[in-house]
Structure 1
Amino acid sequence: MDKNKTTTVWTQKEQFESDNPSGHKLTMYATANEENKDTVGYGPKALMLSSLAGCSALDVISLLEKMRAKPKDLKIEVTGELTDEHPRYYKNVKVDYHFYGNDLQLDKIEKAVNLSVTKYCGVMEMFRQFATVTTEIHHHTS
């Protein structure tokens, strides 16, 4: 069974430094605190949305490379709607895939996104355990 381990250390006030299994570090902070507005780092809930985008992006680009259909660029926007009551968590999440290029192979793009969403992206599956997740694909010529 694979395991991941991170260590998070309190650095000051409402800021923490967390590592990941590769040893890289990032700063997390309480987003509600005005003192943290200039901090270079992430709020924990926003980081979850970034993890979802990153997980799916890695799948999609890898699949498209294998299909020889790599776009010029890919941007993923993830929007999460939090519950009103505490503990606040994402109840609705929308993932917008934006593909850029002049010769986009739309059928292969759709296949790669569908495989990521339904089969490969573990973060997407984790989100589905507590949120309604919707996706949309957008094509842009450049």
Structure 2
Amino acid sequence: MNNLCKTVWKGGMNFESENASGHMVSIDVDVQDGGSGAGYRPKSLMLTALAGCSGIDVVSLFQKMKVPVRAFEIDIDARLTEEHPKFYDQVKVVYHFYGDQLDEKKLERCVELSVTKYCGVMEMFRRFSEVSTSCVFHHES
């Protein structure tokens, strides 16, 4: 299956990219790098894709397992290499779950399934980066 996107230069260092579903995203760089700072940086967009892909998996799984979760967040801390081409060589993904009836074992299983079976973006990252994951449970009872 092929995925298509069209990316159009809008001037300066700004681009607008449209995916096959018609959704748009603006891509730019910081002012000190010659841009206007009006959009996602390309590398941070990759981290956003990683969090979104895995997050969708995890939510789908905990909903199917009927695990009550009040809120869910993903934090990613990624280290860029020093030399060009710069890429993320270490990525730490932290899954935060909030609620008063958190089933830690089931939620850890949801994350494990996303990481090892379902999230294609996670698999892509593993091809060029050392990826670690952890879960933090915020019990509210």
TM-score, scaled to structure 1: 0.94
Quote the Cα distance in structure 2 between the aligned partners of 1:60 and 1:127. Answer: 18
Secondary structure of the residue aligned to 1:7 is: strand
Deviation at 1:112, TM superposition (A): 0.3
Report matched runs for 1:10-25 at 5 Å.
10-25=9-24
**2:6 corresponds to:** 7
Which amino acid in structure 2 is aligned with residue 44 of structure 1?
P
Q: CA deviation at 1:33?
A: 2.5
Q: Which of 73, 76, 94 lines up with 1:75 in the alignment?
A: 73
| Code of the aligned partner of 1:11 | K
Q: Provide, for residues 63-115 of structure 1, a one-character-per-residue CA deviation record: whole Å limited to 9, x for no partner.
A: 00110004111000111100001000000000000000011011110000000
1:91 is aligned to 2:54: no
Alignment-mate amino acid for residue 136 of structure 1 = S
Contact conserved, 2:69 with 2:102, CA < 8 A, in 1?
Answer: yes
Q: Unpaired segments of 5 or more residues in structure 1?
A: none
The size of the alignment, in residue pairs, is: 139
Cα distance in structure 2, aligned partners of 1:121 and 1:141: 27
CA RMSD of aligned residues (A): 1.2
Quick one: which of 118, 131, 135 aligns to 1:120? Answer: 118
Deviating runs (4+, > 6 A) in structure 1?
none
